Structure 1
Amino acid sequence: MNTGTPSSTPHDTPHDTSAAHVAIEPSILYFGTPVVLLSTENEDGSANLAPMSSAWALGQVVVLGLGPEGQTARNLLSRPDLVVNLPAPAQWPAVERLAPLTGRTPVPVDKRGAFRFEPDKFAAAGLRPEPSELVRPPRAAACPIQLEARAARVRPDASGAFLIAEAHVLKVHADPRLVVPGTQHIDPAAWSPLIYNFRHYYGLGPELGRSFRSQTPGRSR
C-alpha cells in the first residue's frame, strides 16, 4: 500500500545532511590519509628521511606522491631504493619535527622561509636508523611497520606539479605484537596508522565492521 511516505533504505540515517551540502574550495585535500616516513639514499651515501601523507598500496606496490623539488624526489630519480616506514599515532611529534626540514641544499625556492636544511634527519626526528636487508637506505627502528621497496617508475602526475613513484615492496618488517599469531597477517585491532586529516594528526577509532574479504577476525560489536 502506498501511504505517501517514502520507504527507508539501508543508507538512510537520522542525520542525513545531503540537502545541506555547500560547494567549497579547500586549499588541500588530505581527507584522512596515512602518514609514512620515507628513507632514501643521498648522493654521498647518507640517508634522508622525509614525512609524506600521499601514499597508498595496491597489492605489493606502494604509490607515492612527491614534490618534484625535494631531496626525496631527487634521490629516487637516481637511486630507486627506499624504505616506507609507518609510524604509530603516538609518534606524530617525530613526524612533525621533520615537517619543516629539507635534505636539499640550497633550500628550493618554493620552500624558502618555511623550511630549513638539515643533513641528519634521523637525529632531528629523534629516531634511530637500523640497517635494511635488501635495500641501501636504513629503516626507522621505532616505526612498527617498515616496507623495504624499490621504485620501478617515477613520473610526473597529471597536473605536472608533482611526481608519482610506484615502488615494489620487497620485504615487510612488523613489530611482532602487531602480527596475528601463526599467520602472516597484521592484526587490525592491534595496529593503528597515523592519519593526516586536513593537516591534523589522528589515530583510528573503534572498529565499525569488517570486509567480507578480510582474513582476520573482526572485533566489532
Structure 2
Amino acid sequence: MKPVQAQSIPTRIVHPQILYFGTPVVLLTTLNRNATTNITPMSSAWALGNRIILGLGEGGQGLANLRHHGECVVNLPGPELWSQVEALAPFTGADPVPASKQGVFRFQPDKFGAADLTPVPSCKVRPYRIAECPLQIEAQLVDIRESGNHIRFGIVELESITVHAHVEIVIDDSHINPLAWSPLIYNFRHYFGLGHELGKTFRAEI
C-alpha cells in the first residue's frame, strides 16, 4: 500500500492545553479519615481484564484517601447524570483547600447532597456506592505510581472485586447489554453520550 500524500488529507500541528480526547466519566468514591465517603469526578480511566487504571491529580482528596485507605468504588454514570457530575466539579473534599486549588475550588464535605446523589452501602469495601450510576465497581488498590513534572499526578492501579449493574442493562451474569448501557463521555471538557452502534468486534459474544 502506498502512503497517502500529506497534502491530500490536511492536518495541522496543534498544542492542546488538555488531552481529554474522549473517555468515560467516573465518580470515584473513597473513604475519608472521618469514615465519610468522598466523591471525585474524573475521566482519566480505563480497564484491562480485572484491572482499572486511574489518573488522579496530586492535592486531591481522592488520591489522598486511596493512599490512606486502599479501597474505592468506580461508579460509572450515564449521560442523563451529566448535570449532577458537573455539580460536583467546583468542589474538593480537601480541607483546607490546597494552594493549587484555591480560588477555583471550594471545600464541600457532603458531595452526595451537593449533587443530589444517593449513597448505597457496598458489599466488600467501606466507601459507599452511588445508586444512580448504572455500573458500580468495588475495587481495592494495587499500586500508585507518581508521574508528571509541573503538574503532578498519581497513576492508580485497582483490582475489581465486585461489579454491580442496574438490572435494565444486564443480559446475564456475564454480560452487560451494550445497546442498553451508554457511558457519559468527557470530550475536551464537554459531556457526550454514545451515538448509534456502528458495528462490533469479531470477539463480541453477544
Q: Same fold (TM over 0.5)?
A: yes
Measured in 1, the distance between the counterparts of 2:8 and 2:41 equals 35
TM-score, normalised relative to structure 2: 0.94
Q: If you compute each CA radius of gyration, which structure gives the higher value, 1 or 2?
A: 1
SS in 2 for 1:20: coil
Matches within 5 A, 1:1-16: none
TM-score, normalised relative to structure 1: 0.88
Give the corresponding residue for 2:161: 170
Measured in 2, the distance between the counterparts of 1:177 and 1:106 equals 41
What amino acid maps onto 1:51 in structure 2?
Answer: P
What amino acid maps onto 2:65 in structure 1?
Answer: N
Matches within 5 A, 1:71-220: 71-157=61-147, 159=149, 161-180=152-171, 182-216=172-206
Measured in 1, the distance between the counterparts of 2:37 and 2:30 equals 6
| 1:158 Cα deviation after fit | 5.4
Q: Tell me: CA distance 1:77–1:99, structure 2 relative to 1, closer, same or farther (3 Å).
A: same
| 1:68 Cα deviation after fit | 1.0
Unaligned runs of 5+ in 1: 1-6, 217-221
SS in 2 for 1:188: coil
Q: CA RMSD in A?
A: 1.8
- Select the structure with the greater relative contact order (CA < 8 A; seq sep ≥ 6): 2
Measured in 1, the distance between the counterparts of 2:117 and 2:139 equals 20
From the two aligned structures, give the one with the greater strand fraction: 2
Measured in 2, the distance between the counterparts of 1:24 and 1:185 equals 40
Measured in 1, the distance between the counterparts of 2:146 and 2:181 equals 33
SS in 1 for 2:29: strand
Give the percent of matched residue pairs that are identical in Structure 1 and Structure 2.
Answer: 52
Measured in 2, the distance between the counterparts of 1:41 and 1:20 equals 49
SS in 2 for 1:147: strand
Measured in 2, the distance between the counterparts of 1:215 and 1:166 equals 27
Measured in 2, the distance between the counterparts of 1:17 and 1:211 equals 32
Q: Which runs of 4+ in 1 moved over 4 A?
A: none
